[in-house]
Amino acid sequence: MAKHSPYPSSVETLIGEFAKLPGIGKRSAERLAFHVLSTPRDSAMALALAIRDARKNLRAWTIRNRRKRNKARGLGQSLYL
């Protein structure tokens, strides 16, 4: 029989996502989740936007840096962008 959670499903989802991070166990994930939930809404949204923007911009940054590195090595346009 599955153990009933004392938290709403949305909080369980947040805890589960934090627990996927390296070095973060269930208890630490709970602490992180409740820290985020206890901060002002603007702070929580700033964290969410920072994660979204970093993910969105990472590919462009990686491609740009690979092109710079290849140009410096004299390789020209790489097929592995």
Report if residue 79 sits inside a domain: no
Q: Looking at the predicted structure, is the pLDDT value of residue 13 above 90?
A: yes
- Summarize the confidence of residues 6-27 as an average pLDDT: 96
Can you give the pTM of this predicted structure?
0.66
Average pLDDT for the chain: 85
Confidence of residue 1 (pLDDT cuts 50, 70, 90): very low
CA dihedral 10, 13, 17, 20 (to 10 degrees): 160
Shortest CA distance to 36 belongs to which of 57, 21, 58, 56? 21
Structure-model confidence comparison of residues 54 and 63, the more confident one: 54
- Residue pair 81/63 in contact (Cβ under 8 Å)? The answer is yes
Report if residue 1 sits inside a domain: no
CATH assignment of the domain containing 41: 1.10.8.420
Q: Give the whole-angstrom CA distance, residue 35 versus residue 81.
A: 38
